[in-house]
Structure 1
Amino acid sequence: MDNALAQKRDVETKASWTQATLFLTLMVFTAGQSFLLVVLPPLGRRLGFTDLQIGGILSLSALLLMVSAPGWGYLSERVGRRPVLLASLTGGILAAIGFGTIVHFRISGGLSVFLALILIALVRAIQAAVTSGILPAAQAFMADITGPAQRANGMGTLGAGIGVGAIAGAGLAWQLGGENPVMAFSLVAGLASFAFLSVLWVAKEPPRTASARISDGHLPIGRIWPFLVITLVSISAYSVLQQVTALRLQDSFGFSVEESISRGGAALMAAALAMIVVQASAVRVFRWEATRLLGVGAVIAVTAMLICTVATAYFTIVATFILLGIGLGLMLTGNLAALSLETGPGAQGKAAGVNVVAQGLGQAIGPITGAGLHRVSPQLPFVAATMLLVIACLVATRAWRSAATNSR
């Protein structure tokens, strides 16, 4: 009895360390992406590139990241989660070193503008294609080491890692990106190296059943499509807000350009922090099943957006963004867990890869939609974001009712 209890505790301890490693891996990956997105446009001007050239590099790399993720997800079913994570982290390390080297020689005059542009584009393309394996492999790894009752907690841990990484990357860009970009890229490489060593030493390949090791396991699109739709519309809605919040503060509230950027960033940061707190702790406190997290979160998110759409004071904007962060934290965590549970063994990596495509489409649709609608009315993008979240709410309610019916 004592031996069995000791073995159980040992397994739980190893699983906890592995979850911490996956949290670190996603945090480092997201920090690197966030840092690059923030720092590359102004750094590109310093290097002699045009805004259009930098925009083209970022757009192409986003497309590469999106289309290559399913391939990595499929590969993780064949060779395992750990090899994919190690390969992708290696790509992240080498890319950060490459960026730092190119920037150093361009600033010192050792590279022409044209050659530096070609090299930056090449490194970014390789980075996007290789590191896109991190998210699907990490999600599949988490599914392998958590049971159905712990799945929402595990996915919440990954979501919190992404949120912390986004904030850390922006902070790194703020502190070092302008004054010493080479050192900043060196720090990114160092963080990626630490994550690589953590995966190498801590994250052992999880045991899977024979059915789960079948590399051509069926992807149950008929069961998981609602959760892919929720990913698409919720990320689209949030991307709309990222694009137009500062513009609305400037055009509707009379803030200056500097004030609108600062206050808009503060509101979005409040939403991100609320999301992180919910994903890291509240999900564990509530101990709700995945579909309940999804349904309750969707209702909260829609309520927040309805209020935000008609808000006439900056304080109300901030308050509703915090409420939105709480709703999205519950909804996105429940959605990932429900997606994983409905997928079943044998296709976790594939489902995670397809979900990354839905995220990428949402991130592409949101800014374009927000910018276009803002030209008509500052409130219209918020109306559109509300309607997108209403769609998520309806689909989530359907999934919640279906789960409740099946459990009877």
Structure 2
Amino acid sequence: MEVRSRTTKAQFALCLGLTINTTGQSFLLVVLPPLGRRLGFSDIQTGAILSISALLLMVSAPAWGYLSERMGRRPVLLAALAGAAIAAASFGMIVHFRLMGAFGAALAVGLFISFRAAQSLASSGIMPASQAYMADITAPTQRAGAMGVLGAAIGLGAILGAALAWQIAPINPAWAFAIISVLATAAFAGVYSWATEPARVARASPFDARLPLARIWPLLLITLVSISAYSILQQVTALRMQDALGFTVEESISRGGAALMATALAMIAVQACAIRLLRWEPMRLLAVGAVIAVSSMLICSLVDSYIEIFGSLVMLGIGLGLMLPGNLASLSLLTGPGAQGKAAGLNVVAQGAGQAIGPLAGAMLHRVSPQAPFVAATFLLTVACTVAIFTWRSAMQPPETLVPHGN
């Protein structure tokens, strides 16, 4: 009973850290495009801030995955949350003093790039360490549900970030960043107090197992294209509200945040409830979710009213709620023990590449038309859907019977 209680506390601390880290990321992605215009940034500069930081995340993630195998999961988690708290406080001060006119737009851009880069280098360790930690403390039969819990924590963070963008950012964005910093500090304290190092990590050698790249590369590709598509949406949804539907800056932030919050809420509902009720194997979750996601994105690219955009994004949340945990669980199971941190680090590389591609591509495509980024996201999710279905069908095929050749 005592061991189970410690495990429950560790899972809670792990999910809290993921939730708060995602809150900060989601808030910045939703708010910065329209807020950047108020600060004097161009859309390309805003996209560059997000894309450059994502590239740094991509480069540093494998190192954090390796360190989580060698030094343990807990130190990596603590470093990530410390970085999140410091960066959020810094963003709040930059926004406050820039809106007061204390310095110019060029200096504000430089400061944002610097602190966002430092945040990315630190926080890139949270996902590989969390994914590996959860794999350490769950049995293979519980892996899909465990990854669903991680997905729900990330989805809750996306909701909180969108809620801050919806309710507080239009009034005082600096205070919203301050709230995120306080929450990240609380998450740091939770991990420090409750997340003891898993015994399995302490016994394992960092060189126990090699990565089975031949088996897991399709899942890494799915991560890349699906995160690219979702990052495009986070970059341009509020801008579409402003430029295609005629909303003001404040209205576009508010309604864009509400739509993305509803998307995340749908993801959480599916990850927390539907996955456990359905009890599908991870590959089936991945394939079915991908079909729903690409269908909803196609609808979103064609419609021309706020209600229709809102509804299609909720449908997208349902698809991603099935797809992303199925992909993570499949990746973990195909990797096997001994290399969980390394595989999770590569998965974050794919995520970082997607987060680097998405914002800049979204900003550039938005200059063509407000619908163009959504068409691109549909194409990317079509790729993910095709790979997911192919991978599922391959997994369902029985192994070939080996027959010795005659002389």
Task: Give RMSD over aligned pairs.
Answer: 3.5
**Which residue pairs with 1:284 in the alignment?**
276
> 29-38 vs 281-290, which deviates more?
29-38
Measured in 2, the distance between the counterparts of 1:369 and 1:48 equals: 21
Measured in 2, the distance between the counterparts of 1:139 and 1:31 equals: 18
Residue 284 of structure 2 aligns to which amino acid in structure 1?
R
1:364 and 2:329 aligned:
no
Residue 287 of structure 1 aligns to which amino acid in structure 2?
R
What are the residue-to-residue correspondences of 1:268-347 with 2, within 5 Å? 268-311=260-303, 315-347=307-339
**Which residue pairs with 2:85 in the alignment?**
93
Question: Contact 2:51/2:357 (CA < 8 Å) preserved in 1?
Answer: no
1:218 and 2:210 aligned:
yes
Q: What is the Cα deviation at residue 76 of structure 1?
A: 0.5
**Does the residue aligned with 1:346 lie in a helix, a strand or coil?**
coil
**Match for residue 156 of structure 2 among 150, 154, 164:** 164
**Gap change, CA 1:112 and 1:21, over 3 Å in 2:** same
> 242-251 vs 335-344, which deviates more?
242-251
Residue 127 of structure 1 aligns to which amino acid in structure 2?
Q
Q: What is the Cα deviation at residue 305 of structure 1?
A: 3.5
**Which residue pairs with 2:247 in the alignment?**
257
**Which residue pairs with 2:383 in the alignment?**
391
**Does the residue aligned with 2:143 lie in a helix, a strand or coil?**
helix
**Does the residue aligned with 1:214 lie in a helix, a strand or coil?**
coil
**Match for residue 82 of structure 1 among 74, 78, 94:** 74
Give the total of aligned pairs: 398
Question: Contact 2:62/2:349 (CA < 8 Å) preserved in 1?
Answer: yes
Measured in 1, the distance between the counterparts of 2:13 and 2:378 equals: 36
Measured in 2, the distance between the counterparts of 1:242 and 1:188 equals: 19
**Which residue pairs with 1:132 in the alignment?**
124
Question: Contact 1:143/1:151 (CA < 8 Å) preserved in 2?
Answer: yes
Deviation string for 1:275-334 (max 9, x for gaps)?
121112211111211111112212222333444455576554443332221111101110
Measured in 1, the distance between the counterparts of 2:234 and 2:94 equals: 30
Deviation string for 1:136-179 (max 9, x for gaps)?
11111111111111111111111111122122123334444465
1:60 and 2:33 aligned:
no
**Which residue pairs with 2:200 in the alignment?**
208
Measured in 1, the distance between the counterparts of 2:137 and 2:365 equals: 44
Measured in 2, the distance between the counterparts of 1:375 and 1:204 equals: 49
**Gap change, CA 1:84 and 1:407, over 3 Å in 2:** farther
**Gap change, CA 1:311 and 1:34, over 3 Å in 2:** closer
Deviation string for 1:259-283 (max 9, x for gaps)?
7776555444332221121112211
Deviation string for 1:222-264 (max 9, x for gaps)?
111010111112222333444555676788xx73234777655
Measured in 2, the distance between the counterparts of 1:115 and 1:392 equals: 40
**Which residue pairs with 1:35 in the alignment?**
27
Question: Contact 2:162/2:257 (CA < 8 Å) preserved in 1?
Answer: no
**Which residue pairs with 1:6 in the alignment?**
none
Question: Contact 1:234/1:388 (CA < 8 Å) preserved in 2?
Answer: yes
| Contiguous gaps of at least 5 residues in structure 2 | 401-407
Question: Contact 1:149/1:289 (CA < 8 Å) preserved in 2?
Answer: no
1:189 and 2:181 aligned:
yes
**Gap change, CA 1:169 and 1:336, over 3 Å in 2:** same
Residue 15 of structure 1 aligns to which amino acid in structure 2?
T
Question: Contact 2:54/2:353 (CA < 8 Å) preserved in 1?
Answer: no
Question: Contact 1:297/1:326 (CA < 8 Å) preserved in 2?
Answer: yes
Please give the TM-score of this superposition, normalised by the length of structure 1: 0.83
Question: Contact 1:39/1:178 (CA < 8 Å) preserved in 2?
Answer: no
**Match for residue 198 of structure 1 among 174, 187, 190:** 190
Question: Contact 1:228/1:355 (CA < 8 Å) preserved in 2?
Answer: yes
Percent identical among aligned pairs is: 64
Residue 337 of structure 1 aligns to which amino acid in structure 2?
A
**Gap change, CA 1:68 and 1:266, over 3 Å in 2:** same
Question: Contact 1:21/1:202 (CA < 8 Å) preserved in 2?
Answer: yes
Q: What is the Cα deviation at residue 80 of structure 1?
A: 0.6
Q: What is the Cα deviation at residue 197 of structure 1?
A: 1.5
Residue 257 of structure 1 aligns to which amino acid in structure 2?
F
Measured in 2, the distance between the counterparts of 1:261 and 1:102 equals: 19
Please give the TM-score of this superposition, normalised by the length of structure 2: 0.83
**Does the residue aligned with 1:213 lie in a helix, a strand or coil?**
coil
**Which residue pairs with 2:405 in the alignment?**
none
**Gap change, CA 1:12 and 1:400, over 3 Å in 2:** farther
**Gap change, CA 1:62 and 1:376, over 3 Å in 2:** closer
Q: What is the Cα deviation at residue 374 of structure 1?
A: 6.0
Measured in 1, the distance between the counterparts of 2:30 and 2:224 equals: 23
Residue 146 of structure 1 aligns to which amino acid in structure 2?
T
**Does the residue aligned with 1:349 lie in a helix, a strand or coil?**
helix
> 85-94 vs 334-343, which deviates more?
85-94
